[in-house]
Structure 1
Amino acid sequence: MTDAAGLDADELRFADPDNPFLLDPDTEFASADSLPREAAESEAALLRAALREHDYRYYAENDPLIADRTYDRLFARLAELEDAFDLDTAESPTQRVGGTTLDELETVEHVVPMLSIDQSGEAADVRDFDERVRREVGGRDDGGGGDVEYTCEPKFDGLSVELVYEDGSFVQAATRGDGERGDDVTEQVRTIRSIPDRLGGDPPEFLAVRGEVYIPRDAFREHNRERVERGEEPFANPRNAAAGTLRQLDVDAVARRPLDCFCYDVLGWEDGGRDAPATQWEGLSILDDFGLKTNDRVELVGDVEDAVEYRNRLLEEREDLNYEIDGVVIKVNDLALCEELGTTARSYRWAFAYKFPARAEVTTITDVVVQVGRTGRLTPVALLDPVDVGGVTVSRATLHNPDEIDRLGVNVGDRVRVKRAGDVIPQVAEVVESRSDEPYAFPETCPVCGSAVERDGPLAFCTGGLACEAQAERAVVHYASRGGLDIEGLGEESVEQLREAGLVESLPDLYRLPDRRDELASLEGWGETSADNLVAEIEASREPPLSDFLAALGVPEVGGATARNLARQFGTVDAVRTASESELADVDDVGEIVAATVRDFFASEENAAVIDELLEFVSPREAETPDDADELDGLTFVFTGALSAPRSAAEDLVQRHGANATGSVSGNTDYLVVGENPGASKREDADANDVPTVDEGEFSALLREHGLVWPPDDEE
């Protein structure tokens, strides 16, 4: 960080040396309410200029002038002034935080065509390119000797964009697209802090620049780590991440991604009193003067052999760079000569890309991330420098389990050989070069929820259960499934959508959905009818049979049959939760192993907290004990549609007299009782399993044969 000794004017791009917010700024501000408007406007202007300079020094020069905390205070002060005096403008640094959602990406025409570059990984092809260029030079009328200077720069593995400035203000950005037209990504690019919203120095009236949007490797690794820990698929490589991010319609989501940009070509220049730069090298220098980020590895060389040597040197240094490159770009330096050389239909004749060989099988582990699966199992995943394995680019590989890490002796930084098991799943096969003193230390707590990690042989599991965010989606899907409470409309895709929308993060949140019905209806693919149907299903699940509730909780080893046995044995949910291991083991179809699992599940503080909250919304119906009436013993009923009395009353009645009432039809079902407006899926399952279907009248007659009454008398 630069000290407070002072700054020369030629060191600055956006602010004057005497700007009070550049070095060691005073962040004890007077109340905005006490300022006259003129003073607020002046202070805001100084803050904008200073913040632009700080952004440039931090993101483009990697040489910050102030601490992050101080920057945050200056930023907050500017936002305060703009809000208090209505001073915000589109060019303000405060407008980079996103917040806009676009309906779609418009298509815009480029200032000049953005063409491709011919490329090869062979030095002979590079020399052929040089010979063609020198023949053109030698054949000119002025007899120019055939000597050619080249600029050499890294070939960034990102997404090309066109940036347009008018009178120094950023007005448009577009992807390369088909070369003639591209997607308008102005609002997305506006969030990238290395791209100034207003140019410094003395820019021309009109400037169009070509740049490459990318994600730095360290930021990419951290972003992928977060995705894997959340159970999401990581991006395959930084380029895919950058391209996918830039095309997002949710600009706020773009602002949260660590995008950056190198600028390297002047595409358009209009200025009445000044000529455009005459060389590539001069153009890069001018872009830097304007505060646009350029790359410090660009070199000016005298001939093609120097260009080949530059590429070989950069190949050796490739792993030390904080951005992905896949070769170098060699350009004729003289822009007048470039214009003479012209273009083909698809590429520039004055530039050539000398590619690197693909990384093959051996690569470096950049990080180890522990992924928490839906069952709580922890799987270590190695994040890799992208490598070609059998023609597929791989950036992650499984390490299977803690024992496999110990067997391989692998850790971050090691060079490893990667293979694709069965030509599908990438895995680390062996350590080629160890760069660590000991194997990776497997965490003792869950990286998502912080709960203790338990080992079961070679496997590791999070003990967070229902409280672990990584397991929450699985828990909600199971709770609503046919094996749970059979809440129609809550499959995997819909639960994932509800979680992403922030509507359902845990089981109790299901019962808060009726109060958020309008938000639910506004989701893509839902609408009023779907929202009302789901709310009705949720409301109908508030008083489930105890057996269904126990099965819905997803207690390990407890399916429908075991849940029914537990319900009959203990009668209430509290009795099941507080039962001892020996009491549980006495239940039919339980045994010692399952009893220990059930006891551990309910003894977990995390699970207990979620269940306590869930029971504020749900009241499982008490089950009768085995000594009760058994007129319907051995029968299994499933109910669908509306009956003349609550469906829960029918379920309760048959269970009180020895039958089972389940939420889904199977081969073990004896009767499907169909009321009004039934769901189609249960009738289809009944047909598929040859299960008799009876209407409410037939159900009532069946019960009368056993001395029972349906619908129940009002006095019952």
Structure 2
Amino acid sequence: MSADAREAPDNPYVADPPTEFDPVDDIEEATAREQAEQLREAIRYHDDRYYREADPVVSDRDYDALLSRLQALEAAFDLDTDGSPTQRVGGEPLDEFDTVEHVAPMRSIDSSGDVEDVREFDRRVHDRLGLSQARGDDGSDDGGGDGQASLDAYAGASVAYFCEPKFDGVSVEVVYEDGEFVRATTRGDGEKGDDISANVRTIRSVPLRLRGDYPEFLAVRGEIFMPREAFQQYNRERVERGDDPFANPRNATAGTVRQLDPAVTAERPLDCFFFDVLDSTHQFDTQHGRQDVLPAWGLKTNHRTDLVDDIEGAIAYRNTLVEDRDDLDYEVDGAVLKVDDLDQCDRLGSTSRAPRWAYAYKLPARTEETTLRDVVVQVGRTGRLTPVALLDPVDVAGVTVSRASLHNPDQIRQLGVAVGDRVRIERAGDVIPYVAEVVEKNAETEHFAFPDACPVCDSPVEHDGPLAFCTGGLGCPAQLRRAIEHYVSRGGLDIEGLGEQRLDRLVETGLVESIPDLYDLDVADLAELEGWGERSAENLVAELAAATEPPLDDFLTALGVPEVGPTTARSLARTFGTLDAVMDATEEDLREVDDVGETVAHEIREFFAAPRNREVVDALRERGVSPETVDVETGAALEGSTFVFTGSLEGLTRGEAQDLVERHGANATASVSGNTDYLVAADGAGQSKLDDAEANDVPVLSQAEFEALLAEEFGIDVTDELGS
């Protein structure tokens, strides 16, 4: 029954509702209770119209105003909230999920993508029901194995099939008693699953109270999913803030329903279709009868179902689904074919794993070609703008891909790619997916128009050859967040207590607007933030205070200088000794450093020449940050030697080995070249480094030979060095 077919309740908050209310302090409790009940009834009606009928009658703003008023009334008058729409915002975080036994087994379904397997399923159904009237006396199939012969073999037999999409989501059992939502459980092992009631309550297409002439007891099976359009928008938001997108809607859904914090689930765009009755005090005769009555009870069903006369009709249904699936707003991976007559289903029964009366005719996997749904321009830590294509999930070399690189603005123009185009995806080196070509133009525009302004801070975009950069620097929130995240990460200064969510909170509240602001944080301000306590605030402030004299190489890495990783940072620190010397070095000076070529030297010079970056360093120094000076002895024992380490050393880490030789004047680089003097290869040595050593005629030493070389040739005892 549609929302239009049933009469709207006589309620002041349904049609053109008022959104201005008297203060809750000015009304009596009886009035509050009456108004709250009217609001609950109206909000349920609006939920039906919006989430189950896709035909809302109020604006989002009006809906939010009604919900906010209901929350205020319930809080002010301590009203019972069982079954209230306000429960959908999420409750307290859970410690873990309880395990619950299902009302009835939630079995899997046999499946295949081969049409002959589907016809064989139909033959088994007829055999078990005693309907194979045209079989020969010897039990052979007179008609052979093709589709028409299958029809001939069952002439006069009556097995109708109810067909529905096989949704690619997360299966759930939802139980109602006296019309009230009781619990929701994952499929688990089919006999029992995890109680995810707190999360499922937040899904607005799942009614918390049934409507109409509902049964006293009802256990239904549904499929929770994330609509494709909502999935793409959600992925877009993740990419824009620097997070990895979900691979596909099913992964997004599975991760969401298993969140221990229901408030997180409430923020994500989940939906649910109901398609089966596991147990009920209401009696049914057919599968399609079940499907017809569920909407009358307020349960959302899918309209892409069909009742067909025979297996060939079911096959045709699946083939139509293949043709239409790109136009659906939900992912499907097959068609479920069910014997419609429930008496016949009972006679067919089930195995321990699957029912004998149902079969899934799978859809072919999407391979390589897919539709480009959106382009997101991501702002990196250095300000580089990278266009990312968001795709309908597609299988590429056995991996599900939902995003792909578009490289840069020039590549977009060369491909002529735009939103809505059909594209072919490849994986570079079988790892990184990228858009290889446009196979079908579906967009009105010639190609995606790269923005002239940063999508995050609206600063002008600057082009450097084929690349594009935001000119906002650390004033750009995207660059700021990533810069701070890198600064405190293990690859930077390794500041504990600043995870992703806490860092986001500091930026959102304005407590941290630049890296130096970290050192201005105090315990009182931090302790007032949601998710913080006084102890965690004290620990963070202490961590930051302890990081005011970092090793010079760690500080250079933490600043996020382009192309400068830990190895290059060590070389810079060892060569120049002080931060000022690195900052003032010319490109010619920098090119003299091991691991620093022309491109890296240019990036370092550009970084420290930029006024905004100098300002950050100056501000850090004003707050007491003073990187350690590196004192490298001139004429040291290993001066002029270059070592490369590979494999797992015994008794010391690779980093300790690099520090050891650097203390004595040597260079420790990451790659083998013609300038390398020794490759130290321990257990698990990388073959590529061994090959490079052979190609460049570089001596390869075992760990024992390395330690002997230091002791005999240079008078360096490794054991004593580590002990000191």
Question: One fold, TM greater than 0.5?
Answer: yes
Corresponding position of 1:357: 364
Note if 1:207 corresponds to 2:218.
Answer: yes
Corresponding position of 1:102: 94
Match of 2:117 among 112, 125, 134: 125
Corresponding position of 2:395: 388
> Quick one: distance in 2 between partners of 1:338 and 1:416?
44
| TM-aligned CA distance change 1:30 to 1:477, over 3 Å | closer
1:509, distance to aligned residue in structure 2 (A): 4.8
Report the AA paired with residue 126 of structure 1: V
Report the AA paired with residue 287 of structure 2: Q
Corresponding position of 2:435: 428
Match of 1:292 among 289, 296, 299: 299
| TM-aligned CA distance change 1:132 to 1:548, over 3 Å | closer
Q: Map of 1:546-557 to 2, 5 A cutoff?
A: 553-555=559-561
> Quick one: distance in 2 between partners of 1:133 and 1:28?
62
Match of 1:176 among 187, 201, 208: 187
Corresponding position of 1:313: 320
Corresponding position of 1:253: 264
Report the AA paired with residue 72 of structure 2: E
Report the AA paired with residue 29 of structure 2: R
1:462, distance to aligned residue in structure 2 (A): 2.9
Corresponding position of 2:675: none
Report the AA paired with residue 499 of structure 1: L
1:550, distance to aligned residue in structure 2 (A): 7.7
Note if 1:445 corresponds to 2:453.
Answer: yes
Corresponding position of 2:150: none
Report the AA paired with residue 208 of structure 1: A
Corresponding position of 2:60: 68
Corresponding position of 2:253: 242
| TM-aligned CA distance change 1:612 to 1:82, over 3 Å | farther
Task: Note if contact 2:527-2:537 (Cα within 8 Å) is conserved in structure 1.
Answer: no
Corresponding position of 2:606: 597
Corresponding position of 1:37: 29
Match of 1:539 among 536, 542, 545: 545
| TM-aligned CA distance change 1:30 to 1:669, over 3 Å | same
> Quick one: distance in 1 between partners of 2:316 and 2:172?
29
Q: TM-score, normalised by structure 1?
A: 0.75
Q: TM-score, normalised by structure 2?
A: 0.75
> Quick one: distance in 2 between partners of 1:622 and 1:137?
84
> Deviation digits for residues 496-538 of structure 1, max 9, x if unmatched?
47536758965245325551799699999x997x987764442
Note if 1:196 corresponds to 2:204.
Answer: no
> Deviation digits for residues 449-491 of structure 1, max 9, x if unmatched?
433332222222333333444444653466458997xx4x427
Match of 2:126 among 124, 127, 134: 134
Task: Note if contact 2:485-2:503 (Cα within 8 Å) is conserved in structure 1.
Answer: no
1:33, distance to aligned residue in structure 2 (A): 2.4
Q: Map of 1:338-349 to 2, 5 A cutoff?
A: 338-349=345-356
Corresponding position of 1:490: 495
> Quick one: distance in 2 between partners of 1:127 and 1:187?
42
Corresponding position of 1:567: 580
SS at match of 1:191: coil
| TM-aligned CA distance change 1:145 to 1:694, over 3 Å | closer
| TM-aligned CA distance change 1:280 to 1:479, over 3 Å | closer
| TM-aligned CA distance change 1:162 to 1:509, over 3 Å | farther
> Quick one: distance in 2 between partners of 1:465 and 1:456?
15
Task: Note if contact 2:285-2:343 (Cα within 8 Å) is conserved in structure 1.
Answer: yes
Match of 2:70 among 69, 78, 87: 78
Report the AA paired with residue 68 of structure 1: D
> Quick one: distance in 2 between partners of 1:159 and 1:544?
48
> Deviation digits for residues 62-95 of structure 1, max 9, x if unmatched?
0111111111111122112212211241311111
1:619, distance to aligned residue in structure 2 (A): 6.2
Task: Note if contact 2:523-2:538 (Cα within 8 Å) is conserved in structure 1.
Answer: no
Match of 1:11 among 6, 11, 17: 6
SS at match of 1:11: coil
1:179, distance to aligned residue in structure 2 (A): 0.5
Match of 1:461 among 455, 469, 474: 469
> Quick one: distance in 1 between partners of 2:628 and 2:96?
53
| TM-aligned CA distance change 1:527 to 1:112, over 3 Å | farther
| TM-aligned CA distance change 1:66 to 1:407, over 3 Å | same
1:307, distance to aligned residue in structure 2 (A): 1.5
Task: Note if contact 1:409-1:439 (Cα within 8 Å) is conserved in structure 2.
Answer: yes
SS at match of 1:115: coil
SS at match of 2:373: strand
Match of 1:328 among 335, 338, 352: 335
| TM-aligned CA distance change 1:400 to 1:688, over 3 Å | farther
> Deviation digits for residues 658-707 of structure 1, max 9, x if unmatched?
xxxxxx95755479xxxxxxxxxxxxxxx999997999xxxxxxxxxxxx
Which piece of structure 1 moves more, 143-152 or 384-393?
143-152
Match of 2:228 among 211, 217, 222: 217
Task: Note if contact 2:389-2:403 (Cα within 8 Å) is conserved in structure 1.
Answer: yes
Which piece of structure 1 moves more, 340-349 or 184-193?
340-349
Q: Map of 1:371-410 to 2, 5 A cutoff?
A: 371-410=378-417
SS at match of 1:366: strand
1:445, distance to aligned residue in structure 2 (A): 2.8
Corresponding position of 2:503: 499
| TM-aligned CA distance change 1:613 to 1:60, over 3 Å | farther
> Quick one: distance in 2 between partners of 1:392 and 1:586?
43
Q: Indicate the RMSD between aligned Cα atoms, in angstroms.
A: 4.2
> Quick one: distance in 2 between partners of 1:450 and 1:690?
57
> Quick one: distance in 2 between partners of 1:621 and 1:248?
41
Note if 1:89 corresponds to 2:81.
Answer: yes
> Quick one: distance in 2 between partners of 1:467 and 1:688?
50
> Deviation digits for residues 257-313 of structure 1, max 9, x if unmatched?
10000001111112xxxx422221121122100111111111222222222221111
1:31, distance to aligned residue in structure 2 (A): 2.9
Match of 2:173 among 162, 179, 189: 162
Task: Note if contact 1:547-1:563 (Cα within 8 Å) is conserved in structure 2.
Answer: no
SS at match of 2:610: helix
> Quick one: distance in 2 between partners of 1:391 and 1:439?
29
> Deviation digits for residues 347-395 of structure 1, max 9, x if unmatched?
1111111111111211111111223333333222212112222222222
| TM-aligned CA distance change 1:43 to 1:473, over 3 Å | closer
Report the AA paired with residue 238 of structure 1: P
Note if 1:266 corresponds to 2:277.
Answer: yes
Task: Note if contact 2:587-2:605 (Cα within 8 Å) is conserved in structure 1.
Answer: no
| TM-aligned CA distance change 1:548 to 1:182, over 3 Å | closer
> Quick one: distance in 1 between partners of 2:169 and 2:383?
36
1:430, distance to aligned residue in structure 2 (A): 1.3
> Quick one: distance in 2 between partners of 1:207 and 1:145?
36
Task: Note if contact 1:557-1:597 (Cα within 8 Å) is conserved in structure 2.
Answer: no
> Quick one: distance in 1 between partners of 2:123 and 2:238?
49
Match of 1:26 among 18, 23, 46: 18
> Quick one: distance in 2 between partners of 1:170 and 1:564?
68
SS at match of 2:315: helix
In the alignment, structure 2 segments of 5+ residues that lack a partner are 133-153, 592-597, 637-657, 666-715
Task: Note if contact 1:161-1:174 (Cα within 8 Å) is conserved in structure 2.
Answer: yes
SS at match of 2:83: coil
Task: Note if contact 1:362-1:417 (Cα within 8 Å) is conserved in structure 2.
Answer: yes
| TM-aligned CA distance change 1:334 to 1:320, over 3 Å | same
1:620, distance to aligned residue in structure 2 (A): 5.4
Which piece of structure 1 moves more, 474-483 or 405-414?
474-483
